[in-house]
Structure 1
Amino acid sequence: MKILFLLQLVSTFYMVGLIWFVQIVHYPLFALVGRARFTRYQQAHQLRTTFAVGPMMLTEAATTIAIVYWPPPGMGSAFTWTGVGLLFVIWFSTALLQVPRHHVLASRFSPSHLRRLVISNWVRTIAWTARGVLLLIYLFQVFPDQ
């Protein structure tokens, strides 16, 4: 079951790093693309982002579910279910907040939707960071002398 934890650790930290890059660099730079090229840029962004995030998000989700059934030694249910809850926050935020704004931006540039995208993305940024912290706490509990 340690392999599940390691896969979760890798996939979660990949997403933690990526979400901070997106939050601080990528999304704010959308405003500099310009109206004339924005929809084409946004459409390309959506396609390419799917390839960059899809496999890791699915790996993270699969290992989170698997860990509910086969938790690593010493991982209590409160710890496990907190991770599940944070993942639900991330996926619901993605589906209900970010994806609809991306769809609008794929059809037209909208400064208000762009602002709301950047602001609402803090939900995912905080939740993924919290998942990372949670996994580090478990890691240091399992390997305290490392």
Structure 2
Amino acid sequence: MTLEILRLMIDAGFMVLIWAVQLVIYPSFGYYSKANLLIWHKSYTKRVTFIVLPLMLSQLILGVIQLWTLQNWYTLLSMVIIISLWLLTFLVFVPLHQSIDNNTPVENVCEKLVAKNWTRTVLWTLLFVVSVVYIT
């Protein structure tokens, strides 16, 4: 299996995951009472981390390896998108999720998660499309 195929598989996995988060998971948070959201969210974040963290690390490592071995439009654009996704995740989404876990949610946190997550949804979808275009 080539690095490009492995990257494509990871990018595809992330695209499916982010659309599920965008269309199902984040909107569902709005249906919980504050107390129930706190209980469910702590369980959710622990569980989803076992899916998201390996995918993000794999995507970053493969992106760095690809950029190191070959500098072209695909590897450069991929790294820009991957770094943007890491920054968005850790500077915007982790604090929003932590506000729920700490029982001090920012105002309209559920709506903010959905609204702000469109950026990550577009970026992870774009990353998948870029990988498909590069391989074909």
**Partner residue of 1:56?**
55
TM-score by length of 2: 0.92
Asked if structure 1 preserves the Cα contact closer than 8 Å seen for 2:96 and 2:106, the reply is no
Q: Distance in 2 between matches of 1:110 and 1:38?
A: 13
Q: Show structure 1 runs of 5+ residues with no match.
A: 141-146
Pairwise CA RMSD of aligned residues? 1.4
**Number of aligned residue pairs:** 135
Asked whether the equivalents of residues 105 and 114 of structure 1 are also in contact (C-alpha less than 8 Å), the reply is no
1:39 paired residue number? 38
From 78, 85, 92, the equivalent of 1:83 is: 78
Letter of the aligned partner of 2:121 in structure 1?
T
Alignment correspondent of 1:126: 122
Query: 1:28 & 1:107 partners in 2: Cα distance?
Result: 20
1:5 Cα offset (Å): 1.1
Q: 1:132-143 maps to which residues of 2 (within 5 A)? A: 132-140=128-136
Aligned equivalent of 2:6: 7
Partner of 1:30: 29
Higher-Rg member (1/2) = 1
Contact 2:74 2:131 in 1 (8 A): no
1:113 matched to 2:112? The reply is no
The structure with higher relative contact order (CA 8 Å, sep 6+) is 2
Q: Deviations 1:86-123 (Å, cap 9, x if unpaired)?
A: 11111111011111000001122555122111111111
Give runs of ≥4 in structure 1 deviating > 3 Å: none
| TM-score scaled by length of structure 1 | 0.86
Deviation at 1:56, TM superposition (A): 1.3
Please state how far the C-alpha of 1:70 moved relative to its aligned partner.
Answer: 2.0
2:99 counterpart of 1:104: yes
Q: Percent identity between the aligned chains?
A: 27
Name stretches of at least 5 consecutive residues in structure 2 with no aligned partner: none
